[in-house]
Amino acid sequence: MSHALSPTADELISLFPPGTRLDGDGSVVVGGCRLEEVAARFGTPVIVVAEHALRQRARDYLNAFRSRWPRADVAFASKSFPCTAVQRVMVQEGLHLDVAGGGEILTALKAGADPARLVLHGNAKTDEEVAMAVDRGVGLVVVDNFDDIDRLEHLVPAGRRQQCLVRVIPGVQAATHASQATGHARSKFGLLPEDARSAITRIERSAKLHMQGVHTHVGSQLLDVDQLAEAVAPIARLGTFETYDLGGGLGVRYTYAENAPTLDDYAEAMVAQARTLLPEGSRLIVEPGRSMVAHNACTVYRVTTIKRGEIVHVAVDGGMGDNLEVSLTGQRFEATLVSRVGGGDTVTVVGRHCESGDELIDGVSLSDPAVGDLLAVPVTGAYCYTMSNQYNGARRVPVVFVADGDARLVVRRDTWDDLVLRDVD
């Protein structure tokens, strides 16, 4: 289904990282760097991250919550952009890190994170991952099931106590894509309240575990803050604890037609519930991912082919290899030519992969696209790098930080040799 609109240049730029502007010749500039020059230097596709905007978002999150609830902490959900350089920014700006699995523990530590400020998630943690968390001194382990308790009691050495949160299913049916809803009764994540009570009792009786608090999460890409706030009451009913982790899930604006809540809207809704339902002086944790990084990056492609038939297909040199969000969740994106912003006729932007589903944008206005043009897609900071892959032998894309007119490579592009690096025969 086509969603094409004819946005103005200002509307187009509003989806790019804060501070983005047009140069004198109309070309897009992010972080003081012309995207044309970034593409010439690092090739395409390339994910471009506005470093100052990323840092400011982290500061804004801390201020939004701590100004309302002094014992609030913000833990960046690493899974949304598990790049060491991104994690390092979050650490430097005073955030904790939410990690899901052994790999994210290792990149977090490489980024300079204090292991005591890590929160480990996972509905199917392995013995190896739990042992890694215990050995490295991960501060909080989120107990998702009774098997987590078994593993922790076996692996935590005598004389130590592991701080734990119990993940609770809040029973909230989120208004989001089915794959992004995590708070409903049939979710694979967490325990229903009655089972959570049993897990809490068991942890409280353990000589090796300490019952620090409870955790909940409704889902991802939620544009209604009241739905997010609904999750507070179910965990409040479970008792008085030192820590209440309210998860993340705040949605962002991907298209011109969407309206997303502000950070202040979100913080006020969550803290208002906390003031009413949770013990004064308790610690709150929120775990933003998408809403921390999505708007602070864009992806630049080069147009490789144009086919004019019943519809105009504009094919680029990336696609499902660097953006699976379209295929997996039906997420709508927008796009513009880097040197000709706004205007034009409706086209469909497709990728290079051998799948009919490799369609980046169905119906978008581009101004006279031609082979060799650069095309920029905004709001690609969340989950695009996370799920990048080597489908059809594609080389995974690089990540470039831009700030004050300087562009620096933080993740290199795969080499051709990388494609066979793990072969043993």
**Angle at which helices 263-277 and 51-66 cross, to 10°:** 30
pLDDT at 7: 77
Say if residue 3's pLDDT is above 60. Answer: no
Say if residue 91's pLDDT is above 50. Answer: yes
Task: For residue 178, count CB atoms less than 10 angstroms from its CB and return exposed for 0-12, middle for 13-18, buried for 19 or more.
Answer: exposed
pLDDT band at residue 257 under the 50/70/90 scheme: confident
- Over the stretch 376-396, which tens digit does the pLDDT of each residue have? 999 999 999 999 999 999 999
pLDDT at 108: 98
Say if residue 198's pLDDT is above 60. Answer: yes
pLDDT band at residue 116 under the 50/70/90 scheme: very high
Say if residue 189's pLDDT is above 90. Answer: no
Average pLDDT for 27-38: 98
Boundaries of domain holding 105: 52-292
Look at the block and give the residue holding tokens 């504009």. Answer: 314
Residues 287 and 300 in one domain: no
Residues 283 and 373 in one domain: no
DSSP secondary structure of 29-63:
EETTEEHHHHHHHH-SSEEEEEHHHHHHHHHHHHH
**CATH at 105:** 3.20.20.10
Residues 111 and 247 in one domain: yes
| Residue 354: active-site member | yes
- Over the stretch 303-327, which tens digit does the pLDDT of each residue have? 999 999 999 999 999 999 999 999 9
pLDDT at 154: 97
pLDDT at 177: 61
Residues 254 and 377 in one domain: no
Q: Which of 33, 83, 354, 384 is catalytic?
A: 354
- Over the stretch 119-176, which tens digit does the pLDDT of each residue have? 999 999 999 999 999 999 999 999 999 999 999 999 999 999 999 999 999 877 766 7
Look at the block and give the residue holding tokens 């699976």. Answer: 324
Cβ atoms 174, 185 nearer than 8 A: no
pLDDT at 196: 95
What does the mean pLDDT of the chain come to? 94
pLDDT at 329: 87
pLDDT band at residue 1 under the 50/70/90 scheme: very low
Say if residue 4's pLDDT is above 70. Answer: no
pLDDT at 9: 84
Residues 266 and 217 in one domain: yes
Please state the domain count of the chain: 2
Residues 56 and 203 in one domain: yes
On whether residue 1 sits in a domain, the answer given is: no
pLDDT at 180: 67
Average pLDDT for 80-94: 98
Cβ atoms 368, 35 nearer than 8 A: no
Nearest to 77 by CA among 51, 50, 58: 58
Residues 124 and 205 in one domain: yes
- Give the SS3 label for residue 298: strand
pLDDT at 5: 55
